[in-house]
Amino acid sequence: MRTKEPTFRVTKWLDRTIPLEAECTSCPDAQFKIGFSGKIRSPFYRPECRGFMEHLQAAFALHVAQVHTKPAVAKRAAEDDD
């Protein structure tokens, strides 16, 4: 039984709308960060801000697939059939 659903949550914002860091609510250690290759100088980064959110959410999705997807659950359900 799942007690807590892993949830994507932004923990650090560059400003009101641009996320810098996010976490998995089920894993205190799991953090997803935007890796900057260069300096941020407003307002030039703004066109990319949507990409920041997508980048963090993609990292979270990967984390869920790797950490929270448990094949054993499906296997046990299949064995119950027997």
Under the rule (CB under 5 A), what is the footprint of Zn ion?
6, 24, 26-27, 30, 67
Which of residues 14 and 33 has its CB atom nearest to Zn ion in the complex? 33
Rounded to a whole number of angstroms, the distance between the first and last alpha carbons of the chain is 21
Cβ-based neighbour number of residue 76 at 10 Å: 10
Q: Report in angstroms how near the CB of residue 73 gets to Zn ion at its nearest.
A: 16
Structure tokens at 35: 């890796």
Q: Report in angstroms how near the CB of residue 47 gets to Zn ion at its nearest.
A: 30
Q: Report in angstroms how near the CB of residue 26 gets to Zn ion at its nearest.
A: 4
Query: What is the separation of C-alpha 32 from the centre of its chain, rounded to a whole number of angstroms?
Result: 6
